[in-house]
């Protein structure tokens, strides 16, 4: 059965928009002196108005030994930390780190508020000059009155080790052992163990996650986008396996908020069907575009074989509304507080894997939506679209009627896209589309010139690949780009079963737009032995660019289609900076960098993907990992 | 684009006592619904059955399943009562426009006589159904239970599979009031009816999506219309004002008033709230799990909270902000120990320790 595409109406209310853990959050609030900061739909911790109704104490103990830490600096703030110059309420200075029990600090007589933040830096040296770890948490409540119940429940600070992939909150094994010993019929049977406990398929309780201190919904092949205010939205993803097909998560979006270091899960009014594999493109005004995607797909992994196929069962009748492949372009706004909403523009037919990029045209900023393929896929007939459209998005609507059939030079689906020229204000004026063609007889690369509103074919020289599909491009200097995660296979399209990944190497591209016909120079990179056996050839890896231009490529499938349990950190020149062990061998994850100036700004949020479960079956992931480069 | 609008009115029963009442109500509702639940799988099965066009009449309705409604059988009940129930059966069955309903042309005893049956078993009903080129046969029997109470025993036979696909027993206060029993019975056997043909043009499509997944029962104007699956539930309903209700065991009942425009696709995302756990009520969901962790006295903040030993173990204490006449003092604790994350106040202190 297909998940129906709908363009209808989502009605949200306070009750509707509360998350699964609303009960937990509200209970927490009842214990705290002031308003709740953890309910996904409540005000953000850094923005709420705290209620002062007495005074309390803040006990700070650095329990949990951190290897290699010699000293620490602990600061307490009133309100979330959003910039490094913010004055702390209390700065304990540089103190020797004694391990588990020796560092206990108490601040007495604090005004009862729910918006305190604690920032803890740990250093390798006693003088606090070589940072090793950072722990941060906002939305901490100091309560008045009897705090007996609260003090049994310390606030947990997510702790990241610089230059490593760090996990967020993990379920204590003993807790899950306890849960597994209890039989259940419904989730409520398990609530006495932990509020996040649910009744598993084997009628045993389990604690699957510690949301909001980690992700909630399991998401394979989700999208993510960095929002202007520092939050990272993780959108969609395949979540539930039914009748051999994965269905996208109805939990539309979860947001990592660096002001609280917690996740919030939100419903988005008028968002349409849940999707996976959509292109999420940052727009102005804190919004982002959702282009492409599918609500259902087949993804199976067995030794030496990957099955990856769109569900196009109901896609024959265009506009039927039942096709799993998205038929619209959307603008989403995920509010910090209040209602999150989306506007949709119906394309009139399902289009899979279009390319999308933000461009600055003579008429203002637009969203370029180029190519894609109509479905169902036909082996003998190329349905790739050689057309592009421009969409105008504002706070009230998204409309794609200005330019609806701009001719491209090739039909392309799942092309890699990059902005290769900017105007003085930073707007993108030229967008390059790489690959995604069905046949090498079509041009590999073409460029959209926003000023001329035309596509021109680029000359590809050096060592360009014949077959190129997918991948992400990152600017690493003047006219230089790193292309990572591309493959020679038409994954999810004509190539539905792979015996080898077909992953392409990482390419360093030099783009010369000074000539009338742009020239692209392709250079495959040899990362050396440090990159491991895959050498950077990774299928369905997550990639993100960090503030210094370096690129982190995490997970993916190697040549033999085995999930990879490490990340490659590349310098902007394409050299390998580090090979970093991951906590989870996963592929099909997503990653975005935290913007802003807070203590976690510059870190990357890695989310979702598939891993192999204990039964060797694919398991979508809800685990968040943070990667913070050395400060 | 839809023109539908909605006014939310989620149920809100915050107190423990009301929660208990609600649990009891849920239990009762679940008992009633237990009989109704199989209707949806049956409906799914109906959709998968092959169409047998063995005559001109069924060929005309080739997309529909052909269902034979037998006249009611009666055991120890007056003939007038049996005929009354038969009329009600036939009236209610004709509301199933999504099915090709055919009514038996003779009393059951005569139908059985034709095939020399002595018992209304699977084989006999199968033969009768085959005569009418039906795929399903609905058999009803008006009888009294051992305590003398009238009841309507109903079952539906799947001829292709040669088995009873579903059965139900509906209590009957009196034959004069058999409509409700017949209607409930048919819902169990055949699923919900669709709309009258005259109202077909004024239909709207209702799409319910249950966040977090799971199976919930969906009611429109207190009438069960189906249950959610992974993709939610998509049903056609008459355009106009309706009250939607979504019920799932262990969660608060959700309801909303909606106004559906003709031809509109109305999507409703539903977020069910888990019910509060009522301690010691003996109902499912009561807490009482063993504690997996150590005593509070082994926790550092217990001892520091005592205050006495704080200085002795090197605890540094700072005093800030507080005027001298301040009220009581509370405590907030911090940890960077992964093993303590599950105790975080966001989990409301409900975690076992």
Q: Identify all chain B residues contacting A11, using CB atoms and an 8 Å cutoff.
A: 5-6, 8, 256, 268-269
Q: Which of A259, A281, A265, A380 is nearest to A331 (CA)?
A: A281
* Residue B319 structure tokens: 């005093």
Per residue in B52-67, is it b (16+ CB within 10 Å) or e — as a string?
Answer: beeeeebeeeeebbbb
Contact B289 A63 (CB under 8 A): no
Q: Report the C-alpha gap between A610 and A616 in whole angstroms.
A: 11
B146 pLDDT exceeds 70? yes
Give the pLDDT confidence score for residue B97 in this predicted structure.
Answer: 78
Contact A154 B328 (CB under 8 A): no
Give the pLDDT confidence score for residue B28 in this predicted structure.
Answer: 34
Q: Report the C-alpha gap between A165 and A584 in whole angstroms.
A: 10
Confidence bin at B230 (pLDDT 50/70/90): low
Confidence bin at B120 (pLDDT 50/70/90): confident
Q: Report the C-alpha gap between A33 and A39 in whole angstroms.
A: 15
Give the pLDDT confidence score for residue B348 in this predicted structure.
Answer: 66
* Token pair 């030794």 in the structure block, residue: A303
Confidence bin at B280 (pLDDT 50/70/90): very low
φ and ψ of B91, to 5 deg: -65, -45
pLDDT tens digits, residue range A198-211? Answer: 888 888 999 999 99
Q: Report the C-alpha gap between B24 and B326 in whole angstroms.
A: 46
Least confident of A217-231, A486-500, B285-299: B285-299
Confidence bin at A467 (pLDDT 50/70/90): very high
Q: Are B6 and B269 in contact (CB under 8 A)?
A: no
Closest residue in chain A to residue B11, using alpha carbons only: A15
A243 pLDDT exceeds 90? no
pLDDT tens digits, residue range A301-314? Answer: 999 999 999 999 88
Least confident of A82-96, A481-495, A544-558: A82-96
Mean of all residue pLDDT scores within chain A: 86
Question: A621 or B146: which carries more pLDDT confidence?
Answer: A621
Q: Is A22 helix (H, G, I), strand (E, B) or coil?
A: helix
Least confident of A26-35, A38-47, B63-72, B209-218: A26-35
Give the pLDDT confidence score for residue B4 in this predicted structure.
Answer: 34
B174 pLDDT exceeds 70? yes
Contact B344 A210 (CB under 8 A): yes
CA dihedral sign, ordered B216, B220, B223, B225: negative
Q: How many CB pairs under 8 A join A and B?
A: 370
pLDDT tens digits, residue range A369-400? Answer: 999 999 998 877 889 999 999 999 988 889 99
B180 pLDDT exceeds 50? yes
Percent of chain A with pLDDT over 90: 67
B281 pLDDT exceeds 80? no
Question: Which of A3, A135, A151 is opposite residue B333, by nearest beta carbon?
Answer: A151
| Residue B271 contacts A where some CB pair is shorter than 8 Å | yes
Give the pLDDT confidence score for residue A344 in this predicted structure.
Answer: 92
Q: Identify all chain B residues contacting A188, using CB atoms and an 8 Å cutoff.
A: 250, 274-275, 277, 284-285
Question: B91 or A413: which carries more pLDDT confidence?
Answer: A413
Q: Report the C-alpha gap between A199 and A568 in whole angstroms.
A: 38
Omega of the bond leading into A376 within 30 degrees of 0 (cis): yes
* Residue A188 structure tokens: 């409520």
**A514: β partners:** none
Confidence bin at B160 (pLDDT 50/70/90): confident
Question: B276 or A274: which carries more pLDDT confidence?
Answer: A274
B37 pLDDT exceeds 80? no
Q: Which residues contact A303 (CB under 8 A, 6 or more apart)?
A: A561
pLDDT tens digits, residue range A529-586? Answer: 999 888 999 999 999 999 999 999 999 999 999 999 999 999 999 999 999 999 999 9
Give the pLDDT confidence score for residue A428 in this predicted structure.
Answer: 97
pLDDT mean over A237-261: 91
CA dihedral sign, ordered B247, B248, B250, B252: negative
Q: Alpha-carbon dihedral of residues A579, A584, A587, A589, nearest 10 degrees? A: -100
Closest residue in chain A to residue B296, using alpha carbons only: A152
Percent of chain B with pLDDT over 90: 5
Question: A133 or B17: which carries more pLDDT confidence?
Answer: A133
Q: Report the C-alpha gap between A56 and B339 in whole angstroms.
A: 25
Confidence bin at A7 (pLDDT 50/70/90): very low
Q: Report the C-alpha gap between A439 and A442 in whole angstroms.
A: 6
Give the pLDDT confidence score for residue A20 in this predicted structure.
Answer: 33
* Residue B21 structure tokens: 């009442």
pLDDT tens digits, residue range B75-93? Answer: 777 888 888 888 888 888 8
| Residue B270 contacts A where some CB pair is shorter than 8 Å | yes
Helix (H) or strand (E) holding B204: strand B203-210
User: Mind telling me how many Å the CA of B63 is from chain A's nearest CA?
Assistant: 18
Instruction: Give the distance from CA B350 to its chain's centroid.
Output: 30
Q: Identify all chain B residues contacting A267, using CB atoms and an 8 Å cutoff.
A: 211, 269, 271
Chain A contact probe: residue of B300, B302, B344 with most A CBs at under 10 A: B344
B131 pLDDT exceeds 70? yes
Q: Is A621 helix (H, G, I), strand (E, B) or coil?
A: strand
Omega of the bond leading into A212 within 30 degrees of 0 (cis): yes
Contact B4 A9 (CB under 8 A): yes
Q: How many CB atoms lie within 10 A of CB B332?
A: 29
Give the pLDDT confidence score for residue A99 in this predicted structure.
Answer: 57
Q: Report the C-alpha gap between A543 and A555 in whole angstroms.
A: 9
| Residue B311 contacts A where some CB pair is shorter than 8 Å | no
Contact B351 A193 (CB under 8 A): yes
Least confident of A533-547, A561-575, B108-122, B323-337: B323-337
Q: What angle do CA B88, B94, B100 make, to 5 degrees?
A: 140
* Residue A477 structure tokens: 């200097």
Q: Identify all chain B residues contacting A342, using CB atoms and an 8 Å cutoff.
A: none
Contact A15 B285 (CB under 8 A): no
Q: How many CB atoms lie within 10 A of CB A86?
A: 17
Q: Are A206 and A197 in contact (CB under 8 A)?
A: yes
| Residue B264 contacts A where some CB pair is shorter than 8 Å | yes
Q: Which of A38-52, A492-506, B245-259 has the highest mean pLDDT?
A: A492-506
Contact A105 B316 (CB under 8 A): yes
DSSP structure class, residue A363: T
Q: Which of A507-511, B6-10, B143-147 has the highest mean pLDDT?
A: A507-511
Q: Report the C-alpha gap between A469 and A435 in whole angstroms.
A: 6
Q: Report the C-alpha gap between A112 and A54 in whole angstroms.
A: 5
């Amino acid at each position: 059965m297909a998940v129906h595409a709908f363009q209808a109406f989502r009605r949200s209310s306070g009750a509707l928009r509360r998350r699964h853990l609303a009960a937990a959050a509200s209970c927490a609030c009842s214990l705290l002196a002031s308003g709740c900061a953890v309910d996904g739909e409540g005000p953000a911790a850094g923005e709420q108005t705290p209620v002062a109704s007495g005074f309390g104490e803040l006990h700070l103990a650095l329990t949990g030994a951190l290897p290699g830490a010699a000293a620490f600096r602990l600061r307490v703030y009133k309100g979330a930390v959003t910039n490094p110059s913010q004055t702390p309420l209390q700065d304990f200075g540089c103190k020797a780190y004694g391990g588990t029990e020796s560092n206990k600090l108490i601040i007495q007589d604090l005004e009862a508020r729910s918006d305190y933040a604690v920032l803890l830096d740990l250093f390798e040296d006693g003088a606090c000059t070589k940072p090793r770890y950072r722990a941060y948490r906002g939305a901490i409540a100091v309560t008045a009155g009897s705090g007996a119940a609260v003090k049994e429940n310390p606030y947990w600070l997510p702790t990241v080790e610089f230059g490593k992939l760090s996990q967020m909150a993990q379920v204590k094994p003993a807790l899950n052992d306890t849960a597994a010993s209890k039989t259940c019929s419904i989730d409520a049977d398990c609530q006495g163990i932990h509020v996040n406990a649910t009744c598993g398929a084997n009628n045993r309780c389990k604690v699957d996650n510690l949301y909001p201190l980690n992700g909630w919904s399991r998401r394979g092949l989700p999208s993510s986008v960095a929002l202007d205010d520092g939050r990272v939205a993780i959108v969609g993803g395949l979540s539930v396996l039914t009748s051999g097909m994965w269905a996208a998560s109805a939990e539309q979006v979860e947001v990592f908020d660096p002001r609280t270091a917690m996740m919030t899960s939100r419903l988005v009014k008028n968002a349409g069907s849940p999707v996976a594999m959509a292109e999420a493109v940052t727009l102005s005004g804190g919004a982002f575009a959702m282009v492409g995607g599918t609500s259902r797909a087949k993804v199976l992994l067995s030794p030496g074989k990957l099955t990856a196929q769109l569900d196009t069962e109901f896609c024959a009748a265009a506009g039927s509304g039942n096709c799993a492949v998205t038929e619209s372009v959307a603008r989403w706004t995920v509010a910090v507080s209040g209602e999150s909403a989306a506007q949709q523009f119906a394309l009139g037919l399902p289009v899979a894997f279009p390319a999308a990029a933000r461009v600055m045209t003579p008429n203002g900023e637009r969203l370029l939506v180029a190519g894609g393929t109509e479905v169902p896929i036909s082996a003998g007939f190329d349905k790739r679209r050689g057309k592009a459209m421009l969409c105008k998005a504002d706070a009230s609507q998204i409309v794609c009627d200005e330019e609806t059939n701009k001719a491209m030079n090739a039909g392309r689906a799942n092309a890699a896209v990059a902005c290769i020229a900017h105007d003085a204000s930073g707007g993108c004026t030229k967008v390059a589309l790489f690959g995604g063609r069905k046949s090498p007889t079509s041009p590999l690369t073409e460029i959209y010139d926003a000023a001329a509103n035309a596509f021109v074919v680029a000359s590809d020289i050096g060592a360009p690949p014949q077959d190129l599909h997918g991948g992400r491009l990152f600017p690493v200097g003047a006219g230089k780009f790193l292309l990572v995660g591309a493959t020679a296979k038409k994954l999810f399209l004509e190539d539905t079963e792979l015996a080898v990944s077909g992953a392409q190497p990482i390419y360093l591209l030099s783009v010369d737009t000074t000539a009338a016909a742009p020239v692209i120079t392709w250079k495959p990179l040899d990362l050396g032995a440090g990159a491991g056996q895959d050498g950077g050839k990774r299928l369905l890896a997550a990639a993100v660019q960090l503030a210094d231009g370096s690129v982190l490529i995490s997970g993916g499938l190697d040549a033999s289609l085995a999930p990879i349990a490490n990340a490659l950190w590349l310098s902007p020149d394409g050299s390998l900076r580090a090979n970093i062990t991951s906590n989870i061998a996963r592929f099909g994850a997503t990653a975005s960098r935290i913007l802003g100036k807070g203590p976690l700004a510059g870190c990357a949020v890695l989310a979702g993907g598939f891993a192999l479960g204990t039964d060797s079956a694919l398991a979508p992931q809800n685990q968040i990992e943070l990667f913070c480069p050395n400060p | 684009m839809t023109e539908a609008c909605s006014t939310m009115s989620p149920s809100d029963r915050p107190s423990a006592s009301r929660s208990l009442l609600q649990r009891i109500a849920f239990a009762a509702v679940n008992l009633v619904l237990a009989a109704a639940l199989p209707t949806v799988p049956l409906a799914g099965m109906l959709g998968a059955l092959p169409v047998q066009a063995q005559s001109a009449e069924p060929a005309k309705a080739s997309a529909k399943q052909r269902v034979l409604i037998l006249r009611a059988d009666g055991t120890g009940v007056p003939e007038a009562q049996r005929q009354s129930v038969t009329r009600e059966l036939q009236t209610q069955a004709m509301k199933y426009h999504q099915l090709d309903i055919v009514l038996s042309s003779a009393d059951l005893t005569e139908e059985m006589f034709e095939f020399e049956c002595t018992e209304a078993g699977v084989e006999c009903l199968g033969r009768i159904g085959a005569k009418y080129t039906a795929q399903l046969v609905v058999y009803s029997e008006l009888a009294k239970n051992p305590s003398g109470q009238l009841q309507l025993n109903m079952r539906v036979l799947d001829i292709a599979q040669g088995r009873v696909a579903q059965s139900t027993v509906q209590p009957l206060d009196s034959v004069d009031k058999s409509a409700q029993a017949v209607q409930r019975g048919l819902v169990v056997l055949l699923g919900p009816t669709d709309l009258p043909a005259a109202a077909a043009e004024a239909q709207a499509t209702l799409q319910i999506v249950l966040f977090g997944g799971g199976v919930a029962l969906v009611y429109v104007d207190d009438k069960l219309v189906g249950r959610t699956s992974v993709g939610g539930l998509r049903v056609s309903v008459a355009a106009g004002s309706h009250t939607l209700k979504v019920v799932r065991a262990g969660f608060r009942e959700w309801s909303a008033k909606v106004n559906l425009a003709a031809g509109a696709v109305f999507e409703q995302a539903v977020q069910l709230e888990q019910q509060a756990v009522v301690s010691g009520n003996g109902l499912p969901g009561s807490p009482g799990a063993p504690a997996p962790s150590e005593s509070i006295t082994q926790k550092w903040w217990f001892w520091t909270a005592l205050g006495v030993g704080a200085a002795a173990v090197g605890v540094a204490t700072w005093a800030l902000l507080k005027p001298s006449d301040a009220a009581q003092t509370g405590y907030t604790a911090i940890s960077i120990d992964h093993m303590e994350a599950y105790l975080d106040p966001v989990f409301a202190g409900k975690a076992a320790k």
